[in-house]
Amino acid sequence: MNQISDEELYQLVKQLSETFFNKSFHDKVRFNSRLRTTGGRYIPSKRLIEINPKYVLEFEKEELHGIIKHELIQSMT
């Protein structure tokens, strides 16, 4: 998987949210290259999902989707 834009990342998160959780996604999502030991995180006070960009470049698509789904679950609690 090649590097994707922030808009493409948002669309991917939105699609996974609707497909797996039947919920529309209205929060923010962005890449954060400062993340070193985690694939992603959810910041409730900012309603923001941050994704480590190395997971787009170095890992399989399923790994990235798993990280996004995990963060989506965090955003729904």
Is 71 a catalytic site residue? Answer: yes
pLDDT at 57 over 90: no
pLDDT of the residue at 24: 95
Catalytic residue among 8, 60, 63, 71: 71
Q: What share of the chain is helix, strand, coil (3-state, %, to 5)?
A: 45, 15, 40
In this prediction the pTM is 0.90
48: which 2 tokens? 């923001």
Q: What is the mean pLDDT of the chain?
A: 92
